[in-house]
Amino acid sequence: MDRLDPASIALPGVEARVVERCGSTNSELLSQNPSRPVLLAAETQTAGRGRRGRRWQSAPGAGITFSLARRIARQPRELAALSLVAGVAAAKALRALGVSRASLKWPNDLLVDGAKLGGILVETKMQGRVPLAVLGIGINYRRDASLARRLRRPIAFLEDLVAPAPSRNRVIRRTAEALLEALDAFEAGGLDALREDWLALHAHAGQRLRVRLADGRTISGIAAGLEHDGGLRLRTRSGMRAVRSGRVLSARAA
């Protein structure tokens, strides 16, 4: 098993840390409230969280789990789009590493041919008047049959997609580089700076989607781009709808 190494994932201006085991790299950084950029990677994450409290665990060496904490010079109302910003960065990094079919499922999943390769969780808090964002990335690295059984959905693993698979250190460093570049673009121009990139990577562009809303209702419509704040636009029988909190349950050709 290749060991995570702070020196191998360090980036200019970012403090890199590696821990053997933790509950959640996001939770660790949020509790530490760092005043400068910090990247925290874990060999084992025991209580990783997806959206709406879903659990995401990683066995030693089987996954890539890390979080990047950085202040963001944008208005708090704009920060809901950060999961899309992080998705663009992660998908681009994976493509650069050889995962040519890496794509995005709104709002925070990394896919390859419909199978989940990874996920993103962004959490924010205020540091005085400036928002601190913690962007957590989880990528399935080594094949883990128990994960596919537990999640009961198609799962992709990096080692099956690229031969030889890049080291976990290389994946973290390249993804973190892309994250920092994307955050710089977001600070300069908001979501508009990355909108076209996200649309080009959208796995379900132009497809008919069934989406479960936050209140439990479901709606169907054709994916028709993004709202200004990162909401998913759906063309439904009753007109255009914007979904800002929900989960895509299914997708098929329109």
Start-end ranges of CATH 3.30.930.10 in the chain?
Answer: 6-201
Start-end ranges of CATH 2.30.30 in the chain?
Answer: 208-252
| pLDDT tens digit sequence for 190-236 | 999 999 999 999 999 999 999 999 999 999 999 999 999 999 999 99
Q: Which 3 state secondary structure label does DSSP give 96?
A: helix
- The answer to whether 19 touches 29, Cβ cutoff 8 Å, is no
Domain 208-252 in CATH 2.60.40? The answer is no
Q: The domain 6-201: what is its CATH number?
A: 3.30.930.10
Q: What angle do CA 192, 105, 149 make, to 5 degrees?
A: 155
Closest by CA to 105, choosing from 235, 212, 204, 242, is: 204
**pTM of the predicted model as reported, rounded to 2 decimal places:** 0.93
How far, in Å, CA of 165 to CA of 230, rounded?
32
1: confidence class by pLDDT, cuts 50, 70, 90: low
> 11-17 contacts: CB < 8 A, separation 24 or more?
11/39, 11/173, 11/176, 11/177, 11/180, 13/37, 14/38, 14/39, 14/68, 14/176, 14/180, 15/39, 16/41, 17/41
| pLDDT tens digit sequence for 219-232 | 999 999 999 999 99
